[in-house]
Amino acid sequence: MTPDIALILTVDGLANGAIYLLAGLGLVLIFSVTRVVFVPFGDIAAFTALTLAAFQMQRVPGTIGLVAVLAAVASLMELGAAVRRRSADGLAQRLFGYGLLPLIPCGLAWLIAARDVPEIVRIPVALGLALPMGPLLDRIAFRPIADASVLVLLIVAIALHFAIAGLGLLFFGPEGFRTTALVDGIFELPGGLVITGQLILMMASAVLLAVLFFLFFERSLIGKALRATAVNRTGARLVGIRPERTGVTAYLIASALAGISGILIGPSTTIYYDSGFLIGLKAFVGAIIGGLVSYPVTALGALFVGVMESFASFFSSAMKEVVVFSLLIPVLLWRSLALAHGGDEEHEELDG
């Protein structure tokens, strides 16, 4: 291997790592606030890419139906809950949030689907369809079992992934799609390294979003409330922070990250109905490196996974997944050793 190739592989790896970074931040966010390992995260990313591909082929994407059905189920559940409580307090607000708001992107998508509209319209609409998916899945699948153990939540999340991927096969068919490039242009750097505009866009977006993410959590009250819920759930409730509300916020932000990752990865990787799982799983490796709690370490871990994958596919394309997932073993060993010495501070909230 020459230094040139190593440089190309690194740049390529960092670009893919940028996607894993966004996904990793989303996974850590949802886990730390709600204790759910949100396996369907990758599916939302893949569906967003496939939705955009459908728009580009001027077809009606099945995601519209999916979001509409989820919204209907969530509304019915809210009605059922209100009947059981025998109180309509806040029902209108919740029906608006779960039943009506998600229909807005559905309607927009329906309008533009079969038309020749510019990309600048298609991308926000595809993202708009991604946004309600996280909160709706949360309301339908996770809210009723919010107090269950992490393991039960994980099993439900895996089941949810298979259900969604199955629907993906129904909506988008078995063939894969690539979306058209978001930016054209190839840049030649002084060293002779050639880099595409697409790669630059991926990396720049990840950096920008990571900075926004950081500012949101450090500066805004909502961001602080999310962190507080993650750090100490009982303490958060005692100051009046409602865990369900912070949960919705976390899912909304994560859905946005998933949608953006899908849009960014679409032009450089062929996406199938079930591609989301692997994206999510690789981001999960990054998140595990960060112990599912630390955002900065997750970000570094995700970039590392991307670079590893890129080098592994150069040496042996068939083995690249093996190499990436083998990373988990030393990381888990190291973490379990670190935890054994670090005491049990993380379990503080469990017996409030």
Partner 1 sequence: MSAMLEIADLHVGYGKVEAVRGVSLSLDKGRIVTVIGPNGAGKTTLLGAAMGLLASRGVLRFEGADLHELGVEDRVERGFCLVPERRELFGEMTVGDNLILGAYSRRKDAAFVKSALDGVFDRFPRLAERRRQRADTLSGGERQMLAIGRALMAGPRLLLLDEPSLGLAPLIVRDILRIVATLRDTGVSILLVEQNARAALETADYGYVLETGEIALHGAASDLLNDPRVMATYLGGATE
Q: Which is nearer to partner 1, 167 or 236 (CB)?
A: 236
* Nearest CB to partner 1, comparing residues 220 and 270: 220
- Exposed, middle or buried by CB within 10 Å (0-12, 13-18, 19+), for 335? middle
Site for partner 1 (CB under 8 A): which residue of 241, 252, 323, 328?
Answer: 241
What lies within 8 Å, CB to CB, of 75 at 6+ separation is: 95, 98, 99
Phi, psi for residue 282 in degrees, rounded to 5: -70, -40
Tell me phi and psi for residue 195, to 5 degrees: -135, 135
Piece of 75-83, 136-144, 194-202, 223-231 that binds partner 1 (CB under 8 A)? 223-231
Which of 118, 190, 191, 240 binds partner 1 (CB under 8 A)? It is 240
A 10 A CB-CB count for 155 gives 14
Q: Go through the chain and tell me how many residues it has.
A: 352
Task: Please report how close the Cβ of residue 229 comes to partner 1 at its closest, in angstroms.
Answer: 9
Asked if 235 touches partner 1 (CB under 8 A), the answer is: yes
Count of alpha carbons within 13 angstroms of residue 23, beta-carbon side: 38
- Binding-residue pattern over the window 291 to 330 for partner 1, x denoting contact by CB under 8 A: ----------------------------------------
Which region, judged by CB under 8 A, interacts with partner 1, from 144-152, 194-202, 205-213, 219-227? 219-227
210: which 2 tokens?
A: 């990571």
Please state, in angstroms and as integers, the Cα–Cα distance from residue 119 to each residue in 112, 179, 283, following that order.
11, 11, 28
Q: Which window, 22-30, 62-70, 234-242, 328-336, contacts partner 1 (CB under 8 A)?
A: 234-242
Q: Which of 238, 322, 333, 338 binds partner 1 (CB under 8 A)?
A: 238
When asked if residue 93 is in the footprint of partner 1 (CB under 8 A), the reply is: no
Element (H, E) at 196: strand 194-196
Using CA of residue 64, residue 67, residue 73, residue 74, what is the dihedral sign?
Answer: negative
Binding test (CB under 8 A) with partner 1, winner from 151, 239, 329, 340: 239
Binding of partner 1 at residue 143 (CB under 8 A)? no
224 binds partner 1 (CB under 8 A): yes
What is the rounded CA–CA span in Å between residue 287 and residue 282? 9
CB of 241 to partner 1, least distance (A): 5
CB 29 to partner 1: min, Å: 15
Closest distance of CB 297 from partner 1, Å: 14
State how far the alpha carbon of 171 is from the alpha carbons of 47, 50, 99, 103, in Å.
10, 10, 22, 18
Tell me: does residue 352 bind partner 1 (CB under 8 A): yes
- Residues engaged in binding partner 1 (CB under 8 A): 221, 224-225, 227-228, 231-232, 234-242, 348, 352
